[in-house]
Structure 1
Amino acid sequence: MTRNETATIEKEATPILSGRDGTRECPDWFQDQQREAWMQFESLPKPTRKDQAWRFANVGLLDLSPFKSGGMLTEKERATILEQSCGLEEVAGRMIFAGDELLERDVISDQLKKRGVIFQPLERAMVEHADLFRKYFMAQPATLGSAKFAALHQALVSSGTFLYVPRGVEIELPIEIFHWLNGENDSAFPHLLLVTDELAKVTVVEHFRSVNEHAPGFACGVNDLVAGPGAKVTYVCAQNWADNVIAMQMNTTTVDHDASAMSLNLNLGSRYSRFESLSRLTGEGGRSDLLAVAVAKQQQEFDARTLQEHVSPHTASDLLYKNALDDRARTIFGG
């Protein structure tokens, strides 16, 4: 496995509520989508306790005005993040992000490349694989309450992971992704676009962490997971943001006929974390399993929303969410 480091992009930190900073180049069609998403974000109302999808949540925590896009990292900060990005011993590929900047990428093997596997940053994939990217990128609407935050994500996302596994390819080792928040009031917009073709198999493990365990921050992530016919997708989320982070995560899984998708979400960190998981079973024989464990302490609040949509007959799904609470912590579930 070879290792490539991306060039540092010099930029100043700007408030996220000021919109796109325009420092990264992307195709015209993607810029158009982002402008439309920003207008949608501004037009949608803020959540209130009067909304059914938010009636139990502490919506007072959702003030986004303090948060900014991350500025340029120092060499010391960069080295610290890379050193602390320790996870699995053996992986098929790895990406490490700080804010929305890709710090390092361990590329996949030549053998997997020859078989058609694509493992790229979003900004490269949207240029080199535009048709595939446009077909699946945020193709499903956010229907569980966070449409405003999904629009914010689409308007501001500038990097992330694109993974395509072609027909019949099984990646034996997992793909590992790290997302870091660095400074005080920094923000991140993590994105994973995973597409598997017929009879493909892959496991992805994502870590969400903060350099400073007490620094406030904001994370607004989206995952598009697509299991093609007969494919098998396993997704693991290990969320351990700092204890003053506000985190939103919106995942959509589409399961075709005879395919299976399993997601396991571990929630340990953040001040407030909302996790929305929509699973759409679009082909007969498809199966979806949604698993989660939340360990809440002090004044943490974990808010989980799920929907399993059986679009086709003869599909199966199962859900198991477990919560452990201490101190004055709260958990919310709707599904």
Structure 2
Amino acid sequence: MSATFAPVSKNIPAPVPDASATPAPSGLEITVPVREESSAPGWFLARSEAAWSEFQKLPTPGIKDEHWRYSSAKKIELADHTPAAAPTEAQSQAALSATEGLKDRTARFVFVNDTLVDSDTAALPAGVVCVNFAEALESHSDVLKQHFMQREMTLGSAKFAALHLAHVKAGTVIIVPKNVVIEKPVEIFHWVVGDHAAIFPHTLIVAGDNAQVSVVDHYRSLEGEGGLSIAIADLVGGSNSSITYAACQELADDAQALHLSSISAGRDARVKSFQVQLGASFSRSESVSDLVGQGARSDMLSVSLPIGEQVVDQRTLQNHKAPHASSDLLYKNALYGRSRTIFSGLITVDDGAHYTDAYQTCRNLVNSAEAEANSLPGLEINADQVKCSHGATSGPISDEELFYLKARGIPDGESRKLIIEGFLADVLARFGNSEVLDTLVARIDEKLERAV
């Protein structure tokens, strides 16, 4: 699928400045998506067009919106961004040179400004579909029609999801047939380059009954200023399937990032999702787990390390719809400088979802008197015989721990770094993949060197 975007007309005369008037929309707010000579199916084109209309109608969430409590949707600067231009050959080569991924992987995709510049799928097992989004629209339209963005966005970012659907043209679709096990991860890189460029990556993973797959998404900046990523991941687990998914956001310090993930876990399915927030001036993640099958399990993990004036906004929903299902959420944030984190999570247990076992934990380690951590955990239980708990803590590094390390000749900065690494270790360990774990630890070390 190819897509172009209509430019803003230059023949319209500039309005006379009026201090009392509302500023005219610009950037993504008026950049109409045009899909010329597209081979995409009719249902997708219709949904894309409807999404653009919905985006224009929906208001930007305001300060009174409960889903944006302690945060601000205005930090996602739509007026300052336009859809990323196709990369030049030099930019593509620069991104490929900077792509240092896993050595032990099954497949790899590299996108630059929503354009596929490299892929390697030779090691995939027979029968597995692992293709870019544009190709999937042509060859597996029926699967996309069934699973692509089928869940209503209920955590506050419906407007941004509509913008994503209106502009999406890149990403990866992975369909694993029944009983097929992919032992090594599929790794995907999304690079953004250019001043105020916006990308709209999409990842769709469908695991059949008894299938197994692991996927790692990377979001990174190559150069330029103020990049924007509005990314969505749909994870669908069939009966007794296993999906492990990680989204690692390492955009430039002045970028903005929004990542929306939707999980549907069938009977006895196991889905593990991991959010890593290391970059961007403002990042927001919305993660929903729908446990629709009896015996399903969802593990929701996150690590963030904001420094300076970075803001990390996290919203979650563990939605138990079937009996004997379990979910466990563990989010950990280590804050420096004047950074802020917001965590708002809810566990819901539907009528009839008996014997639910659900946990929700958010821990914040505050390393500055000016840093701020906000936590709003919640429960909504409508069934009997359930075991649910939630909790959140915030506090500084213990003076005793610092004294213990410094008394042994370890400088203050290095002591704090060691304590933070220990604080985050259990979340990283639960992810499971040793090579991915080593890569994440190295990235966290690099961020800590800037913070201490």
TM-score, structure 1 normalization: 0.93
- List per-residue Cα deviations over 1:257-300 (Å, max 9, x = no partner): 11100111111000100000000000011000000000000010
Cα distance, 1:136 vs structure 2: 0.2
Question: Given residue 248 of structure 2, which amino acid in structure 1 is its aligned partner?
Answer: A
1:16 paired to 2:28: yes
2:328 maps to which of 292, 310, 318: 318
Aligned-partner Cα distance in 2 for 1:94–1:305: 29
- After superposition, residues 172-191 of structure 1 pair within 5 angstroms as 172-191=183-202
1:250 paired to 2:250: no
- List per-residue Cα deviations over 1:37-82 (Å, max 9, x = no partner): 0111111111111101112113332331110112232221110001
- Stretch of structure 1 that moved more, 14-23 or 180-189: 14-23
Aligned-partner Cα distance in 1 for 2:74–2:49: 27
Alignment RMSD, CA only?
1.8
The question of whether the paired residues in 2 share the 8 Å contact of 1:12 and 1:72 is answered with no
Aligned-partner Cα distance in 1 for 2:61–2:310: 19
Aligned-partner Cα distance in 1 for 2:230–2:337: 27
- Stretch of structure 1 that moved more, 43-52 or 67-76: 67-76
- After superposition, residues 55-74 of structure 1 pair within 5 angstroms as 55-74=69-88
Structure 1 partner of 2:412 = none
- After superposition, residues 2-41 of structure 1 pair within 5 angstroms as 15-17=27-29, 18-23=31-36, 25=38, 26-41=40-55
The question of whether the paired residues in 2 share the 8 Å contact of 1:13 and 1:68 is answered with no
Aligned-partner Cα distance in 2 for 1:93–1:13: 36
Change over 3 Å in CA distance of 1:13–1:232 after alignment to 2:
farther
The question of whether the paired residues in 2 share the 8 Å contact of 1:303 and 1:331 is answered with yes
The question of whether the paired residues in 1 share the 8 Å contact of 2:281 and 2:309 is answered with yes
The question of whether the paired residues in 1 share the 8 Å contact of 2:41 and 2:141 is answered with no
Structure 2 partner of 1:135 = 146
What's the % identity of the aligned pairs? 38
Structure 2 partner of 1:3 = none
Aligned-partner Cα distance in 1 for 2:117–2:5: 15
- After superposition, residues 14-163 of structure 1 pair within 5 angstroms as 15-17=27-29, 18-23=31-36, 25=38, 26-109=40-123, 112=125, 114=126, 116-163=127-174
The question of whether the paired residues in 1 share the 8 Å contact of 2:178 and 2:209 is answered with yes
Aligned-partner Cα distance in 1 for 2:88–2:37: 19
- Tell me the number of residue pairs that the alignment of Structure 1 and Structure 2 aligns: 325
- List per-residue Cα deviations over 1:111-147 (Å, max 9, x = no partner): 61x3x10011111111111111100000111111101
Aligned-partner Cα distance in 2 for 1:186–1:231: 37
Aligned-partner Cα distance in 2 for 1:210–1:272: 14
The question of whether the paired residues in 2 share the 8 Å contact of 1:258 and 1:285 is answered with yes
- After superposition, residues 285-304 of structure 1 pair within 5 angstroms as 285-304=295-314
Aligned-partner Cα distance in 2 for 1:224–1:20: 22
Cα distance, 1:24 vs structure 2: 6.6
Aligned-partner Cα distance in 1 for 2:36–2:309: 37
Question: Given residue 263 of structure 1, which amino acid in structure 2 is its aligned partner?
Answer: S
Cα distance, 1:9 vs structure 2: 8.7
TM-score, structure 2 normalization: 0.69
The question of whether the paired residues in 2 share the 8 Å contact of 1:11 and 1:72 is answered with no
Pair member with larger Rg: 2
Aligned-partner Cα distance in 2 for 1:153–1:203: 24
Aligned-partner Cα distance in 1 for 2:5–2:158: 29
Bigger RCO of structures 1 and 2 (CA < 8 A, at least 6 apart): 1
Matched residue SS, 1:322: strand
Structure 1 partner of 2:182 = 171
Aligned-partner Cα distance in 2 for 1:318–1:86: 31
Question: Given residue 140 of structure 2, which amino acid in structure 1 is its aligned partner?
Answer: H
Matched residue SS, 1:225: strand
Change over 3 Å in CA distance of 1:10–1:133 after alignment to 2:
closer
Cα distance, 1:107 vs structure 2: 1.7
The structure with the largest helix share of the pair is 2
Structure 2 partner of 1:263 = 273
- Stretch of structure 1 that moved more, 300-309 or 118-127: 118-127
Aligned-partner Cα distance in 2 for 1:125–1:58: 35
Aligned-partner Cα distance in 1 for 2:37–2:300: 35
Aligned-partner Cα distance in 1 for 2:34–2:4: 12
Aligned-partner Cα distance in 1 for 2:37–2:170: 10
Aligned-partner Cα distance in 2 for 1:265–1:181: 19
